[in-house]
Amino acid sequence: MLSVICAWCGTSLGAKPGGEGVSHGICPPCARRHLSPFIEPLKHGGRPAAAEETKT
C-alpha cells in the first residue's frame, strides 16, 4: 500500500494500492489555505490573464 500524506502539514490522507512507500497530496484545509489565491479569482468570474492580451 502507498501511504498518502499531506505535503504541507503531514496529515495522513489514507493509503492507496499501487506500490510501497509514501505519496504526497494535499488535505482540504491546506488546499484552501495555500491554493485559494489561485482558485478565488475563478470562483468570482475572473478571466484568465491571457484573455487580456487578445485586446491588443
Contact positions vs Zn ion (CB under 5 A): 6, 8-9, 11, 27, 30
- Rounded CA gap, 49 and 14, in Å? 37
Judged by beta carbon, residue 3 or residue 8, the one nearer Zn ion is 8
Judged by beta carbon, residue 8 or residue 23, the one nearer Zn ion is 8
E strand or H helix at 29: helix 28-43
- Rounded CA gap, 5 and 16, in Å? 11
- Tell me the closest approach of the beta carbon of residue 15 to Zn ion, in angstroms: 16
Judged by beta carbon, residue 2 or residue 12, the one nearer Zn ion is 12
